[in-house]
Structure 1
Amino acid sequence: MASSHPSILLVGSGKMGGAMLDGWLASKTPPKIFVMDRHKANDDARFSVVKTAEEIPSSFTPDIIVLAVKPAAAETAITSLVKALGSRASSCAILSVLAGKTCLSLAEMAKNAGQAMPVLRAMPNTPTSVGAGMSGFFASPEASKTQAQICHDLMLAIGEVVTVDKEEDLATVTGISGSGPAYVFLLAELLEKAAVKYGLPADSARRLARATIYGAGRMLQTLPEDAETLRKNVTSPNGTTAAALSVLMEENAWPKNVPEAVQAARKRSDELAS
């Protein structure tokens, strides 16, 4: 990381915040972490927990405030933090992982609360919890190079990072990698159910589906060929795979539905911004 031991205030430790926390704690150089979450138990010596902003010790000044609450709770969280941190807030930057909420809207919330704060955004996914995340990242011009590097490295510590030049591109990142694990989990779920339907035991169906998806993912990560080439390589003419793909690649099947699914996620991301 740009700073070997940055201080992080993680606001919210639900599904995404919790996944990021697990990933950071498992990394080689975990940051100093305070978690602000009224529902989080303080049972791990590797980080500290406060229930509210007022409980943040006066001796703790975060380099980065990672905002991982529900979008509707963003303004309340930022307002309470600015009030509780006081002058310390002037040296903090906000790293938001909220879908839809723009850097400008979050910066205005901080300004209205009495403190100008630079805002950066990341769109991670839940595989961050096992160090295999994929994040889109955008740094607003108001953030310093050091702040941008710390935030980038925080995300890099829990997976891969793609930096986008335009903030609006994060909506597409949301539809591809942010929501993408759920698409893969759905495929695993459907393969398992199909295997059981055609007579395999549930435990065998589970192993077959999951190992197949894991193996295909390994090939995509390690081999130089693109996805289309890998698909063609495993598809013998008039063979079993070709028969299955003839169903999945019908005009109204995957070629139509997958882009529509991504667009639905993009649209919802834009709606959450308002």
Structure 2
Amino acid sequence: MTIRLVLAGCGNMGYAMLSGWVGSGKLAASEVFVVEPNAELRQRAEALGCRAAAEAGAIPADAVPQLVVIAVKPQVIREVTGAYARFGDGHTTFLSIAAGTPVATFEEVLGERAPIIRCMPNTPAAIGKGMMVLYANPLVSQETSQAVADLLSVSGEVATISDESLMDAVTAVSGSGPAYIFHFIEALTAAARHAGLPEDTAKLLASQTVYGAACLAAESSEEPGTLRERVTSPNGTTAAALGVLMGEDRLTRLLTEAVEAARLRAIELGK
């Protein structure tokens, strides 16, 4: 069987993406070879019908995969990627979903002929609701870029950037962003409890309200500001609450500070 894709690492994100690709029919399980040292994680890939091994050396010698996906922790990137250097002759594209690792790191390990795409996903990709942002080095063809974007679209929305330095801002907004929303749900739940609602009801109201509003914002042709205005009657309850959140641009300033803190930390981690 021809190996179209090699997946290096089958942890939570790697497995989520793999199961989406196979489940959607984007890839046949027989076309995928998974390299995962952890036996339990390796068995998950095998349960999908993929071939799997503990080491990259088990990949058939005559294999020329179209794509090698690096889905491991940043701390072991160089060690893991080095095991795939034999595919760095220009015929195989490398896709990294490792946070904070620049394309230059892969170019150092794989050589100057390797097409490399860097991807910043986020955790909702695990349920097909993610945000993936791509940056490709000049060796990646437009056709390949489109094929990778199509593959990743199974896990959510896909965007591309032409300036890799913007990946730090991407990390701060969509990479770390789910945590901001989770904390907002926590805070709204706490506020609901303070207003007298039972714990279960408070949690349901907070979670479903955020989910519903996000879906409406995503599916509506109107801007979020317009949707906000439609909910806000003059001198009504919503206006009273927004007076607190929007007074002196309070929430906007707070989020701007938070995103900037995350962006600066991303720069530090990438050095």
Identify the residue that residue 71 of structure 1 maps to in structure 2: 74
- Tell me which of the two structures has the higher relative contact order, counting C-alpha pairs closer than 8 angstroms and 6 or more residues apart: 1
- Relative to structure 1, the CA distance from residue 195 to residue 60 in structure 2 (aligned partners, 3 Å threshold; closer, same or farther) is farther
- 1:210 has 2:211 as partner: no
For 1:210 and 1:8, the matched residues in 2 are separated by: 37
Q: Please say if 1:173 is aligned against 2:170.
A: yes
Match of 2:96 in 1: 96
Structure 1 pair 168–6 and aligned structure 2 pair: CA distance change class (3 A):
farther
Q: 1:97 to 1:243 in 2, by over 3 A?
A: same
Answer whether contact 2:19 2:48 (CA < 8 A) is retained: no
Calculate the TM-score normalised by the size of structure 1. Answer: 0.86
**Contiguous gaps of at least 5 residues in structure 1:** none
Contact 1:75 1:109 in 2 (8 A): yes
Separation in structure 1 between the aligned mates of residue 21 and residue 97 of structure 2, nearest angstrom: 15
- Kept in 2, the 8 Å contact 1:19–1:126? The answer is no
Relative to structure 1, is the Cα distance of residues 106 and 121 closer, same or farther in structure 2, using a 3 angstrom cutoff? same
- Selected match of 1:61 from 61, 64, 77: 64
- The answer on whether the counterparts of 1:22 and 1:129 sit within 8 Å (CA) in structure 2 is no
Q: Could you tell me how far apart the structure 1 residues matched to 2:19 and 2:140 are?
A: 26
Label 1:52 to 1:137 Cα distance change in 2 as closer, same or farther (>3 A): same
What is the CA RMSD across the aligned residues, in angstroms?
2.2
Partner of 1:48: 51
Give the deviation of 1:134 after TM superposition: 1.3
Distance 1:148 1:257, change over 3 A: same
Q: 1:25 to 1:248 in 2, by over 3 A?
A: farther
TM-score by length of 2: 0.87
Q: Is the 8 A contact 2:78 2:105 kept in 1?
A: no
| C-alpha distance in 2 between matches for 1:121 and 1:80 | 18
Aligned residues: 263
Which residue matches 1:33? 32
Once the two structures are superposed, the pairs formed by residues 157-196 of structure 1 within 5 Å of their partners are 157-196=154-193
Q: Is the 8 A contact 1:99 1:272 kept in 2?
A: no
Q: Percent identity?
A: 39
Structure 2: tracts of 5 or more residues without a match: none
- Higher mean Cα deviation, 25-34 or 258-267? 25-34
Query: CA, structure 1 residues 46+196, in 2 after alignment: closer, same or farther (shift >3 Å)?
Result: farther
Cα deviation for residue 127 of structure 1 reads 1.5
Q: Quick one: which amino acid aligns to residue 42 of structure 1?
A: Q
